Structure 1
Amino acid sequence: MPRFQEVLLLVGQLNYTWTNTESLLIYLIAGLAKVDKETAIVIFLTLNTTRARIELVERLAKMAGTPVECRRQVLEIASQLTRQGKLRNKYSHCIYSFDETGTHASTQLMRIFDSKDAIKYGKVEELDDSEMKRISASIQAISAINKDIWRVVESNSFPH
Structure 2
Amino acid sequence: MDDDQIPHSPDFDELDRLAPNKAGRRNLLFALIGNINYSWSNNESTFIYILQHLMETDELTATLVFGTLNTTRARVDLIERLADAKLKDDTLKKKLRRILRIFNESTRLRNEFSHATFRQNQQGEITHTHSMRIQRKNGQIQLGEIKALDDARIAQMGKAIEKLVKLNREIWAFIPELQHAMSQAADKPQHQGSPQFQPS
TM-score by structure 1 length? Answer: 0.90
Could you tell me which residue of structure 2 aligns to residue 105 of structure 1? 127
Show CA shifts across 1:43-73 (max 9, x none): 1001111111111111111114432222111
Mark the CA change 1:5 to 1:37 in structure 2 (over 3 Å): closer, same or farther.
Answer: same
- Mapped contact 2:134–2:144 kept (Cα < 8 A): yes
Could you tell me which residue of structure 2 aligns to residue 87 of structure 1? 109
Mark the CA change 1:65 to 1:18 in structure 2 (over 3 Å): closer, same or farther.
Answer: closer
- Mapped contact 2:117–2:131 kept (Cα < 8 A): yes
Report the CA distance between 1:126 and its aligned residue: 0.9
- Mapped contact 1:4–1:105 kept (Cα < 8 A): no
* Bigger relative contact order (CA 8 A; separation at least 6): 1
Identity of aligned residues (%): 31
Could you tell me which residue of structure 2 aligns to residue 12 of structure 1? 34
d(CA) in 1 for partners of 2:43, 2:153 = 22
Show CA shifts across 1:12-37 (max 9, x none): 00000001110000010001111111
**Larger Rg: 1 or 2?**
2
Unaligned runs of 5+ in 2: 1-22, 181-200
TM-score by structure 2 length? Answer: 0.73
Could you tell me which residue of structure 1 aligns to residue 118 of structure 2? 96
Task: For 2:107, give the aligned amino acid.
Answer: G
- Mapped contact 1:95–1:107 kept (Cα < 8 A): yes
Q: What RMSD in Å do the two structures reach over aligned CA positions?
A: 1.8
Give the secondary structure class of the aligned counterpart of 1:17.
Answer: helix
d(CA) in 2 for partners of 1:33, 1:108 = 40
Greater displacement, 94-103 / 5-14? 94-103
Could you tell me which residue of structure 2 aligns to residue 133 of structure 1? 155
Give the secondary structure class of the aligned counterpart of 1:66.
Answer: coil
Show CA shifts across 1:98-144 (max 9, x none): 34644442111101111463112153211001111111111111111
- Mapped contact 1:108–1:123 kept (Cα < 8 A): yes
Could you tell me which residue of structure 1 aligns to residue 194 of structure 2? none
- Mapped contact 1:32–1:66 kept (Cα < 8 A): no
Mark the CA change 1:34 to 1:6 in structure 2 (over 3 Å): closer, same or farther.
Answer: same
Could you tell me which residue of structure 2 aligns to residue 152 of structure 1? 174
Give the secondary structure class of the aligned counterpart of 2:147.
Answer: strand
Unaligned runs of 5+ in 1: none
Q: What is the aligned residue count? A: 158
Mark the CA change 1:122 to 1:114 in structure 2 (over 3 Å): closer, same or farther.
Answer: closer
d(CA) in 2 for partners of 1:71, 1:111 = 33
Q: 1:52 aligns with which of 74, 96, 112?
A: 74
